[in-house]
Amino acid sequence: MHPSVVPGFGDLAGLVAFVLRDPYLFISSSTVMTTAIFAALLVLAVLSIRVTPLNGVLQRSAPVLALVFSYFGLGSLALSVEILVRFHAAIPVETEIQFVSGLGHFAIGAAGALMAWRLAADGRPRWLLANAIALLYWALQIVILDPPWFSFQGQGELVRTAALATIAAFAFVTSLRARLSPRPA
């Protein structure tokens, strides 16, 4: 890796100037939405200490959030590794920046997943339903919002197809698992 992976003050100041100049080139809709969900979860978790009715809401939504965050973190990391492996020889600085971004997304995803998982453990989570809802969330993200980072170096169709195929495979496994699960009497 090049020294560009470790940011200095000038790098961070340049990043802030870049984001302020044209935020749509840097921040994708899925990053904004997932960070907002993480912030809301954090606020609700803190408030639930004093506001008891929030505990039930958090326990019911926590399994879905744990899976949404897990898929976000793992998907971002997988995409950034794929970009690094495929394009590093041609554009090393850009691919390293994308990789570090993927690590940051993975960290947010892991933090959100761990927090939501802990909240889910307090209740009786319905993981199959949570997985179906999380997969629906990400399918809608891809189809409706079309994350711009999918199109890095013109690979949008390839990444979009791979992401939707992965979601379809997970949905198929979820439906099989639900079909094979014993029904309550």
DSSP 149: G
- Please give the pLDDT value at position 157: 87
Enter the pTM of the model: 0.74
For residues 30 and 1, which has the higher predicted lDDT (pLDDT)?
30
- Please give the pLDDT value at position 85: 92
Q: Give the Cα separation of 23 and 77 in Å (integer).
A: 22
Q: Give the Cα separation of 97 and 91 in Å (integer).
A: 10
Average pLDDT over residues 132-145: 86
Number of H helices, E strands in the chain: 6, 0
Band (pLDDT 50/70/90 cuts) for residue 25 is low
Q: Give the Cα separation of 126 and 132 in Å (integer).
A: 10
Per-domain residue ranges for the chain? 28-180
* pLDDT greater than 90 at residue 172: yes
